[in-house]
Amino acid sequence: MHTFKLYFKIISRGLIWSFLMYFGIFSLFAVVFNNTGDREKSYEFSLYKCDTVVINYDDSKFSDSFEEYITDQSSVKNDIKSEEEIKDALFFRQIQMAVIIPENFSEDFLNGKNPELKVEAIPDSPSTHLMSLMMNSYLNTYKLYYDGNSGFSEDEIISHVKADLSKESEMNILNDSSKGNLSGINFFFNFSAYVFLAMLILSISSIMAIFNELNLRRRCICSPTKEIRFSTEYFMGNLVISLAVWFLFSVYAFILYPEQMLSQGGLLYALNSLAFVMIALSLGFLLGNVCSPKIISPISTIISLGCAFLGGSFVPQELLGENVLKIARVIPSYWFVRANNTIAETGVFTSGALKEIFGYMGIQLCFAAAFLAAALVIIKRKRTASV
Amino acid sequence: MFFSMFKYSFKRLLRNKVIAFWLIFWPIILATLFHLAFSNILSDEQFNDIDIAIVNAGNNEEFVDVLKDTGIYNISEQSLDEAKKMLIDKEITGYITVGDEITATVNQSGINESIIKMTLDKYEQVSNSYTALITANPQIVQSDFLTEFDFSHDYIGSQTQNKNNLNLVVIYFYTVIAMAALCGGSRGAEDISGIQADQSDVGARTAVSPAKKSVMFFASVCASITTTFISVLLVVFYLMFALKVEFGNLFGYIVLLCFISSVTSVFLGTMIGVLVKKKLPFKIGLVIAITMVGCFFSGMMAIDIKYLVQEKAPLLAYINPANLITDGLYSLYYYGVGERYYINIAILSAMAVIFSIVTILVIRRQKYAHL
């Protein structure tokens, strides 16, 4: 078992820092994005509150009441005060709208001059439509009472407007127990596609490239140990490292999401990631037999990042463009992420749903088999070529 | 002397394939991946007409007409079961049940669902307001006021159509440019290694040659700055013309920023080269690590981080060269030439000066007792 032992010696000396770095990056992202996950689905409707900033240069009861209404109906950020801060906050989507009530707005408004509020917002976006609807509602209702000679005082108008606008319609949320809600753990496993690829391709292909180095290979061929023995020990080394990484990540998932991992969904996630690890294993094996040690690092970085971006690990698949999704079907991590997303959305695992998920796992195993077959063909070619 | 050394350093750098890969091709590949992945990411900021279904529309035709007049809904009339199914399959955002009361059923408390709520609320609220007004002023019914009053007047309208360069995805591309520029530091570290006799064979040969160390060093640094500048410009051209990334129109200022970033990054590399007493691969690794950490804090992995650092830890934003480069490009794109751009340029230049002074001070004193 010398080769097998040597395999792990190389890993522990050369690659342990890379492993720790990737694991560290992954942990950082997993923890940071953990709190965006699995909130208990609320069956009570609540108004979506846009992030806004209100700056009121007009000093009047009317504008104060208007500002109060906007504050009630949206989530106002009080720490943003200047116009430059507003521009930055809007660009980085920390706010969706900034409303600036100009000086003399109430005077112009009440005298029929139809002044416009100064607004900074994302053009023609849903949040802009929502805020416009809300603000126009207030202004038009106020105008109705004012222009209609209602005889009310300013305070009376304000309280009438408030009373009118507090009438709300009944909104129900559909109680559909067939839908699941596993978004946090889903992100964890989708992101793990990048880390599996990066860690396993780098380690497996580096070690295989080392073992395939010409002089070393010549010495091995001359040795009394049979070549099949070497191949078996390389294979066992690759398999053990892949299973170890998979097991480590499954345990980590269990620590972060204990309840979800103990459910049917959790088991399916673990199985799906095992299928993906097989792809990483065979791809690493292929690259190790094809590339020289010098170019392994850039190639593994490009492949892992490329697959992660195009497969939907970093950007959700529903936000990728049409053309990208067409190309993505040839990328193995696309199917991994698709299976994960299906697991996340399925609340009750019917046989139809399971068939779909296992189908995606099957596609991944086909990819793994294809890479392995290609690697074996290349090995055979090298063997029959002159050494 | 200077020019012949410059020429040979320049040729040597052009032929170094590994460095050419990491400084030119890697940023281009990364930018292409970003372009493919992020091309559609702002699609949910575009408002599309909301798909809804109405159940029992016959109970209140007036309400259905009001909905159609808003112009923001795609309305279909369905039975209750059909509407429920369409909602579960996400073919509609919600369905409205018209009866004694008008209610809506949706999947979640999202923006479009809230727009539906507002529309329903407005329908009820308007009739209440009219009733209250008529109660207070019964004569108003006899005038045209009620029929002529425009309850849908838009006080916000045209303002929100300002397309003010709000494409935040460009920040990712600017961080790629910052990464390309800062990786030039590895060339600076190599230059230092090339004149340190204990670090490389070239360094040993340089030490025994009659050529002045200062001239050699200066020539190779100039060659490094030139090649880094050319690499950064190539990346910028690729982003501008192939990927059509928005930069604004201020090309001259972008070139100036690229040049100063190249100078700063090479001197950052030389400073690391003289201060760190390890072999060249370690120094290059350190330059790359600083580059990637700097790019992380300027938003390469998640844009929110740039904003967070800017607001909560502004000092970090000002000393991070990757952020200065990214912010310089962002300020040109969003604000045009102004105070913010010049501040970034000034700090980058000051950094270049400080790094070069440190480098020269340390290198001057280095002599070798024996080789």
A231 or A243: which carries more pLDDT confidence?
Answer: A243
Contact between A130 and B29 using a beta-carbon 8 Å cutoff: no
Cβ neighbours, 10 Å, residue B200: 17
- Strand, helix or coil for residue B50: strand
Nearest 5°: the CA angle A374, A376, A380 is 120
Contact B160 A117 (CB under 8 A): no
For the whole prediction, is pTM greater than 0.90?
no
Closest chain A residue by Cα to residue B162:
A123
Q: Is the dihedral of CA A333, A334, A335, A341 positive or negative?
A: positive
For testing the chain B interface, which of A140, A330, A346 should be mutated: the one with the most B CBs within 10 Å? A140
B156 vs A116: CB contact, 8 Å cut-off? yes
Q: How many residues does chain B have?
A: 371
- Judging by beta carbons within 10 Å of its beta carbon (0-12, 13-18, 19+), is residue B149 exposed, middle or buried? middle
Q: Which of A45, A125, A306 sits opposite B47 (nearest CB)?
A: A125
**Adjacent-strand bridge partners of B97:** B55, B103
Domain boundaries, chain A: 11-39+178-384, 51-165
The answer to whether A33 contacts chain B (CB < 8 Å) is no
B122-145 confidence digits (pLDDT tens): 888 888 888 888 888 888 888 888
CA distances from B21 to A297, B16, B291, B315 (A): 12, 9, 16, 33
- Write out pLDDT tens, residues B45-76: 888 899 999 988 788 888 888 888 888 899 98
Model ipTM over 0.85: yes
| pLDDT score recorded for residue A41 | 63
Q: Which of B253, B254, B255, B264 is nearest to B184 (CA)?
A: B264
CATH number for the domain formed by residue range(s) A51-165: 3.40.1710.10
d(CA A280, CA A196): 7
CA distances from B296 to A68, B37, B123, B175, B303 (A): 39, 18, 49, 9, 9
Distance of CA A258 to CAs A273, B98, B154, Å? 17, 45, 51
Non-local CB neighbours of B142 within 8 Å, separated by 6+ positions: none
The answer to whether the CB atoms of B109 and A123 lie below 8 A apart is: no
Contact residues, B window 36-95, toward A, CB-based 8 Å cutoff: 36-41, 43-47, 72, 84, 87-88
Helix (H, G, I), strand (E, B) or coil at B42: coil
Partner-chain contact B163 A149, CB within 8 Å: no
Per cent of chain A over pLDDT 70 is 95
Least confident of A33-37, B64-68, B188-192, B247-251: A33-37
CATH topology of domain B50-160: D-Maltodextrin-Binding Protein; domain 2 (3.40.190)
Name the minimum distance, in Å, from the CA of B336 to any CA of chain A.
Answer: 13
Q: Which of A46, A125, A176 sits opposite B45 (nearest CB)?
A: A125
Q: Where are the domains of chain B?
A: 2-43+165-365, 50-160
Identify the closest residue of chain B to A143 by CA–CA distance.
B151
| Alpha carbons B355 and B264: distance in angstroms, whole number | 8
Cα–Cα distance measured from residue B86 to residue B90, given in angstroms and rounded to the nearest whole number: 6
Dump pLDDT digits (tens) for A137-177.
999 999 888 888 778 888 888 888 888 888 888 888 887 65
Q: Using a CB-CB distance cutoff of 8 angstroms, which residues of chain B are in contact with residue A128? A: 47, 160
- Of the pLDDT bands very low, low, confident and very high (cuts 50, 70, 90), residue B237 is very high
Contact A145 B133 (CB under 8 A): yes
- What are the contacts of B306-309 at 24+ separation with CB within 8 A? B306/A92, B306/B171, B307/A88, B307/A89, B307/A92, B307/A94
> Closest Cα partner for A305 from A205, A202, A213?
A202
In one-letter notation, the amino acid at residue A289 is: N
Q: Does A160 touch chain B (CB under 8 A)?
A: yes
Q: What is the pLDDT of residue A111?
A: 86
Q: Are A164 and A228 in contact (CB under 8 A)?
A: no
Question: What count of residues does chain A have?
Answer: 387
β-pair partners for A52 = A76, A97
Using the predicted structure, report yes or no on whether residue B161 has a pLDDT greater than 60: no
pLDDT per residue as tens digits for the range B289-332: 899 899 999 998 888 889 999 989 999 999 999 999 999 999 99
Most confident option among A223-227, A345-349, B18-22, B173-177: B173-177
C-alpha to C-alpha distance for B341 and B345, rounded to whole angstroms: 6
Whole-number Å distance between alpha carbons of B77 and B51: 11
Q: Does A331 touch chain B (CB under 8 A)?
A: no
Q: Which residue of A has its CA nearest to B171?
A: A92
Chain B contact probe: residue of A41, A92, A113 with most B CBs at under 10 A: A92
Alpha helices in chain A (DSSP H): 2-10, 16-32, 61-73, 83-91, 105-110, 126-147, 154-165, 183-211, 214-222, 227-256, 258-261, 264-290, 293-311, 322-328, 332-345, 351-384
pLDDT > 60? residue A178:
no
The answer to whether B182 touches B232, Cβ cutoff 8 Å, is: no
Residue matched to tokens 């923890």: A31
